Structure 1
Amino acid sequence: MKRIYSTLKCLLVGGLLVASQGCEIDLELDDRYTELTIYQNPESIDLYMAGMYNEFHTFKFGQFPIGYDNATDGLTDIMKYTSSAEGNGSVNRLAFEPQRVSAASPNFNYWNSGYNRIRRLNELMYGINNYADGLTAEQKTLYEAEARFIRGYVYFWLVKLHGSVVLLPELTSEPNNPRASEEESWNFVLADFAFAAEHLPTKAEGGAAWRGRATKDAAYALMARAALYAGSIAEYDNKQFNNDPLTGVPAAKKNEYYQIAADAAGEVMKMGYSLPKDFTGMFTNPNNSEAIFSVDYQRPGVTHTYDSRFSPPVAAASNRAEGVPTAELVEEFEMANGEEFSWSNPAHAAAPYANRDPRFYGTVLYNGAVWQGRTLETFVGGNVGFVEYGTDANPSNTVTGYYVRKYLDPTNTTFAQNRSAQSWMVIRYAEVLLIYAEAQLKLGNLSEARNAINQVRGRADLPNTQAQTAADLMEAIEHERIVELAFEGHRYWDLRRWRKAHTVLNNLRVHGDKITKNAAGDLQYQRVDADKQDRRFLSQMYYIPLPQGEIANNRALTQIQGW
């Protein structure tokens, strides 16, 4: 902790470091009477604070920014959205036509709602410090730590979208506020998480009564994630894609951020988390040993629609799979013995879904998989069979030969009527280990990086990585982030922070494996184009434009150059 604070102290600019979910509640503070009433009653403060946690619902199951679950994964090489129609096909349209992003219509638009939440959190902290006479100093600090944890998460999203944002450390009535530099913005995020980590209880200390609220564990984990992003920008951006004087992070700062990431992840690694062998089951078990911070749901009042959007089609439910895994993702999963899968290998091609990395079976549904009592037939004419992309504007069936498995609830056969209630893990231990591995690699500690990678592989009983050089270890980390974290909303943002999106996603077409049966009943596999046109990523999209209306309302705000 001392080292993290020492590093942060060097990074922070003078004035910037200043002093769950469940209920769908967002209390407005309209006048002094209301403020006094709320802050003199601890139960009312708790109710208001519970409403602030609703912000995490904004990002559940990778929904941000387009309003579809796993939407950003659908912009990458691991998921294909099935619709080609306007509306349901918004993810595809944005993948094919990034020029749709503009200051008038940013598409990735979180600015207004994000700053509304920041204002509410700043009001909450102001009210606690000025009106809550019955609270002890320790209680006030605890509430501030919770509020800053949530504010840090909001700012994390704003900064990774725009780079340079307006920093509001406290409640203000000033309507005209300029953008801070990207370095200052990342430092602000880290300072909020550092404050939260210092003052919040651990998950173990909080116990059942604290379930769903911010903890020291979660604050360290999200600090590690944010610091890794900042370090990546410092290493990979180098002002190649934007001339705005406020975007980018000096390359000389990268090791400071990587050290914060490694130290924060290291704190979580001391807290007793472990990686369950049951990779499949843990995504519907809210009490698994890996979940660091989760958003919970409960029927009938607080639910979501994940199962209806990704389950293989069920006639009684009239659902359709909005997004499906790509053949490129399927090929990333190794054989159980650590061999790289290849269709050129006759043994692999004869039984392509047998003896794979166990995480494959918790991530993808394939031809022959058993799901809710049915053996899935993804071949042409099968019970959940193949439809070629573009031949049906809104198909019910897969366009790649695969369906999502991760996070689906195998017991939920009534999702059409009762929706879904499985928890969503905001951050889990495997990601912390991969953050630690990447940060240590960047700091030159290759053995530490290798050990962390092997812990993640060990949960799947895979052999240790054979990577020895820094370049090979980085490739191993990218591979593990794809297979371990698929459909958890990371791939698009990883490609952005590594500044690889313009090379990986430009001129990309994702594929499927079309399966047919011949007259003898033998299965035949054919690699097919599941896009029918090239995807594009404009390098200017590394920094999403600010909404034009916000610039009109804030005379001190300027647009990010390039837009």
Structure 2
Amino acid sequence: MKINKAIYYLLGASMLATITSCNDFLDTEPITEQSVSIDNPIKTAADAENRMNTIYTAFGNEYWQLDYFFNGDAQTEISYAGADNVQNFQQDEYRIVATNPNVERDWKYLYGFINDCNMILNYVDQVSDPSLTSSRKDQMKAEAAIFRALYYFHAVQLWGDIPLVTKAVIGVNANNFDEVYSQVYPARKTVQEAYDLIISDLEGAIANAPSGTEKYRANKNFAYGLLAKVYASKPNPDWTKVKQNASNISGVSLLPVYDQLFDGTHEANAESIFEADGNAGTVWAWGPSMFYGTDWKKFNVPSNDLVKAFNDAGDTQRLNSSVKFSTVSWSDKYWTSSSYPFMYKMRKTDGTQNFYILRYADILLLQAEAAVRTADYSGAAGFINQVRTRAGLAPVTITSETDGMQKVLQERKLELAFEGHRWFDLKRTGTAIAILSQQKDGNGIALPYAANINQNRLLWPIPQGQRDNNQNLTQNSGY
């Protein structure tokens, strides 16, 4: 098998432009020191800035515009798959197979994004252009490290044990052949090793990351927030570290009105920690049209369960900001055509929609979770009630860990619906099987596919196409 082909299957097509004609030197002749000239692919300050732009324009990619939100919500009780794509139904109904094209493409996307980060981390220090200052290099590496950590955090939650690729392969010679092979044909590393790399990347990036006021950059607050979520999600969570990193976030506060978060006139607001910028043209935000509009049946159709949960809680503010009912030309087994729901948080369909990767309410509820796990029930209620007060709801009290976790999860469900968090919240808290196996339709009848959820289905299969091209990749149990 040619290494250049394996690179494509492992890391995705976005990497190919950076690889020096591998088929010219890997197929027939022995590799010698003279076989290949490996030059730094980043030669000037402009090259480096273009590489950084590539990292940020990834938020216009299909992964961020569609798959991230689908993966986080359609696999849970807050939305149905919607649309008519059979591969999406597999996700929604916990019957994914290893050849599912969504799984394959998300693997390629994530490792392609990681490769873009590695290009900066591996090569920017070698740029001799005097206009690229050492402080700017340090900031670039900090931003790239934060993003690499973000993408590995997504990958480890989706697949469990994963390859950890830290080198952007641009060529091969006798000296680096073994390293190239290990990066192109990597074996999976343990979940713990993945979290160790994620934490190292984030903690190492904080000193040189942009200020938290730069909402569209991988900033210090974002690094602290990710660290808090990582320490809560890793094996044997460290709740002291969760609290510490969450409390390091500064200069943010809840917006006074919930709908201001999504009305399109409050971008880069006080509650935002990091958001993707569609308004200024950094990305073309085509994603909202995948979720909102009456021209065709959209993805992530709000579930009967979610609407009932809002109504049962008297939570009209967040219901009206999260779900929009309209008359459509179709109906299904869940909703009638005269009152069909759409997710409404991303409602601008002109390409200028911003969307949050992390906002302060998420962190407040994570702090509540950490407080519950450490038996600070009064403190936990205080964090939850900050979020509830903004929504016009009465305060809660917490009496035990079980009571507290139920209230944390319920609040996260209502506050963060359709922001891509629910699947990972349920997995992190160990409640996914118990909650998702009990899903019901609008008539209170059990959804037949809810019985499919089991421990194996909490992880995706390693894509079969990747395993076909890399014999070092093992498969997850149950696939």
Q: Same fold (TM over 0.5)?
A: yes
Structure 2 equivalent of residue 287 of structure 1: 268
Q: Do the aligned partners of residues 186 and 289 (structure 1) sit closer, same or farther apart at CA in structure 2, a change above 3 Å counting? A: same
Write the distance in 2 (CA, Å) between the matches of 1:27 and 1:100: 29
Q: Do the aligned partners of residues 327 and 148 (structure 1) sit closer, same or farther apart at CA in structure 2, a change above 3 Å counting? A: same
Residue of 467, 474, 478 corresponding to 2:405: 474
Structural mapping, 1:17-56, within 5 Å: 28-30=17-19, 38-39=42-43, 41-56=44-59
Write the distance in 1 (CA, Å) between the matches of 2:345 and 2:39: 44
Letter in 1 for 2:343: V
Structure 1 equivalent of residue 309 of structure 2: 332
- Answer yes or no: is the 8 Å Cα contact 2:82–2:297 preserved in 1: no
Structure 2 equivalent of residue 387 of structure 1: 331
1:161-209 CA-to-partner distances (Å, cap 9, x unmatched) read: 12212223445413343322211111111111112222212133x5xxx
Structure 2 equivalent of residue 439 of structure 1: 370
Letter in 2 for 1:179: R
Q: Do the aligned partners of residues 467 and 62 (structure 1) sit closer, same or farther apart at CA in structure 2, a change above 3 Å counting? A: farther
Q: Do the aligned partners of residues 165 and 532 (structure 1) sit closer, same or farther apart at CA in structure 2, a change above 3 Å counting? A: closer
Letter in 2 for 1:55: A
SS of corresponding position for 1:324 = strand
Letter in 2 for 1:215: N
1:210-250 CA-to-partner distances (Å, cap 9, x unmatched) read: x62211011111121222211xxx3xxxxxxxxxxxxxxxx
Structure 2 equivalent of residue 402 of structure 1: 341
Letter in 2 for 1:108: V
Structure 2 equivalent of residue 212 of structure 1: 216
SS of corresponding position for 2:369 = helix
Identity of aligned residues (%): 25
Please state how far the C-alpha of 1:33 moved relative to its aligned partner.
Answer: 9.6
Letter in 1 for 2:217: R
1:288-325 CA-to-partner distances (Å, cap 9, x unmatched) read: 21111111114889423344344352xxxx34444432
- Answer yes or no: is the 8 Å Cα contact 2:15–2:112 preserved in 1: no
Structure 1 equivalent of residue 248 of structure 2: 267
Q: Do the aligned partners of residues 302 and 111 (structure 1) sit closer, same or farther apart at CA in structure 2, a change above 3 Å counting? A: closer
Structure 1 equivalent of residue 180 of structure 2: 173
Write the distance in 1 (CA, Å) between the matches of 2:190 and 2:282: 42
SS of corresponding position for 2:274 = strand
Q: Do the aligned partners of residues 325 and 405 (structure 1) sit closer, same or farther apart at CA in structure 2, a change above 3 Å counting? A: same
1:485-512 CA-to-partner distances (Å, cap 9, x unmatched) read: 001111122222233322322363332x
Structure 2 equivalent of residue 189 of structure 1: 198
1:313-345 CA-to-partner distances (Å, cap 9, x unmatched) read: 2xxxx34444432221122226xxxxx54xxxx
Write the distance in 1 (CA, Å) between the matches of 2:303 and 2:261: 23
Please state how far the C-alpha of 1:60 moved relative to its aligned partner.
Answer: 6.3
Q: Do the aligned partners of residues 99 and 364 (structure 1) sit closer, same or farther apart at CA in structure 2, a change above 3 Å counting? A: closer
Please state how far the C-alpha of 1:424 moved relative to its aligned partner.
Answer: 0.9
Structure 2 equivalent of residue 70 of structure 1: 70
Write the distance in 2 (CA, Å) between the matches of 1:116 and 1:322: 25
Letter in 2 for 1:130: Q
- Answer yes or no: is the 8 Å Cα contact 2:79–2:302 preserved in 1: yes
Please state how far the C-alpha of 1:384 moved relative to its aligned partner.
Answer: 4.5
Q: Do the aligned partners of residues 35 and 453 (structure 1) sit closer, same or farther apart at CA in structure 2, a change above 3 Å counting? A: farther
Task: Figure out how many residues of one structure are paired with residues of the other and give that number.
Answer: 435
Residue 229 of structure 1 pairs with residue 145 of structure 2: no
> Larger deviation: 109-118 or 528-537?
528-537
Write the distance in 2 (CA, Å) between the matches of 1:133 and 1:300: 28
Q: Do the aligned partners of residues 213 and 82 (structure 1) sit closer, same or farther apart at CA in structure 2, a change above 3 Å counting? A: closer
Letter in 1 for 2:270: S
Write the distance in 2 (CA, Å) between the matches of 1:545 and 1:142: 36
1:380-439 CA-to-partner distances (Å, cap 9, x unmatched) read: xxx45883428xxxx9947x7533322213xxxxx4xxx431101111110011111112
Write the distance in 2 (CA, Å) between the matches of 1:121 and 1:61: 16
Structure 2 equivalent of residue 551 of structure 1: 467
- Answer yes or no: is the 8 Å Cα contact 1:74–1:80 preserved in 2: yes
Residue 457 of structure 1 pairs with residue 457 of structure 2: no
- Answer yes or no: is the 8 Å Cα contact 1:505–1:536 preserved in 2: no
Letter in 1 for 2:154: W
Q: Do the aligned partners of residues 308 and 451 (structure 1) sit closer, same or farther apart at CA in structure 2, a change above 3 Å counting? A: same
Q: Do the aligned partners of residues 55 and 440 (structure 1) sit closer, same or farther apart at CA in structure 2, a change above 3 Å counting? A: farther
Letter in 1 for 2:180: S
1:148-173 CA-to-partner distances (Å, cap 9, x unmatched) read: 11111111111111221222344541
Please state how far the C-alpha of 1:282 moved relative to its aligned partner.
Answer: 1.8
Higher helix proportion: 2
> Larger deviation: 547-556 or 433-442?
547-556
Write the distance in 1 (CA, Å) between the matches of 2:459 and 2:79: 23
SS of corresponding position for 1:466 = coil
- Answer yes or no: is the 8 Å Cα contact 1:320–1:397 preserved in 2: no
Write the distance in 2 (CA, Å) between the matches of 1:424 and 1:34: 39
Write the distance in 2 (CA, Å) between the matches of 1:163 and 1:215: 27
Letter in 2 for 1:405: Y
1:437-477 CA-to-partner distances (Å, cap 9, x unmatched) read: 11222123323322211111121232221222222111110
Write the distance in 2 (CA, Å) between the matches of 1:291 and 1:35: 40
Unaligned runs of 5+ in 1: 1-24, 235-252, 335-339, 342-354, 367-375, 377-382, 410-414, 512-526
- Answer yes or no: is the 8 Å Cα contact 1:35–1:131 preserved in 2: no
Write the distance in 1 (CA, Å) between the matches of 2:298 and 2:134: 51
- Answer yes or no: is the 8 Å Cα contact 2:65–2:285 preserved in 1: no
Write the distance in 2 (CA, Å) between the matches of 1:472 and 1:93: 33
- Answer yes or no: is the 8 Å Cα contact 2:456–2:477 preserved in 1: no
> Larger deviation: 428-437 or 70-79?
70-79
Structure 1 equivalent of residue 97 of structure 2: 101
- Answer yes or no: is the 8 Å Cα contact 1:223–1:264 preserved in 2: yes
Residue of 386, 397, 421 corresponding to 2:352: 421
Write the distance in 1 (CA, Å) between the matches of 2:63 and 2:357: 8
Q: Do the aligned partners of residues 111 and 463 (structure 1) sit closer, same or farther apart at CA in structure 2, a change above 3 Å counting? A: same
Residue 116 of structure 1 pairs with residue 112 of structure 2: yes
> Larger deviation: 546-555 or 489-498?
546-555
Residue 358 of structure 1 pairs with residue 317 of structure 2: yes
Write the distance in 2 (CA, Å) between the matches of 1:332 and 1:478: 12
Structure 2 equivalent of residue 80 of structure 1: 80
- Answer yes or no: is the 8 Å Cα contact 2:103–2:463 preserved in 1: no
Write the distance in 2 (CA, Å) between the matches of 1:27 and 1:281: 42
Q: Do the aligned partners of residues 118 and 184 (structure 1) sit closer, same or farther apart at CA in structure 2, a change above 3 Å counting? A: same
Write the distance in 2 (CA, Å) between the matches of 1:504 and 1:457: 22
- Answer yes or no: is the 8 Å Cα contact 1:311–1:403 preserved in 2: yes
Structure 2 equivalent of residue 258 of structure 1: 239
Structure 2 equivalent of residue 505 of structure 1: 436
- Answer yes or no: is the 8 Å Cα contact 1:35–1:127 preserved in 2: no
Letter in 1 for 2:247: G
Structure 1 equivalent of residue 257 of structure 2: 278
Root mean square deviation of aligned Cα: 3.3
Q: Do the aligned partners of residues 180 and 328 (structure 1) sit closer, same or farther apart at CA in structure 2, a change above 3 Å counting? A: same
Letter in 2 for 1:387: S
Please state how far the C-alpha of 1:140 moved relative to its aligned partner.
Answer: 2.5
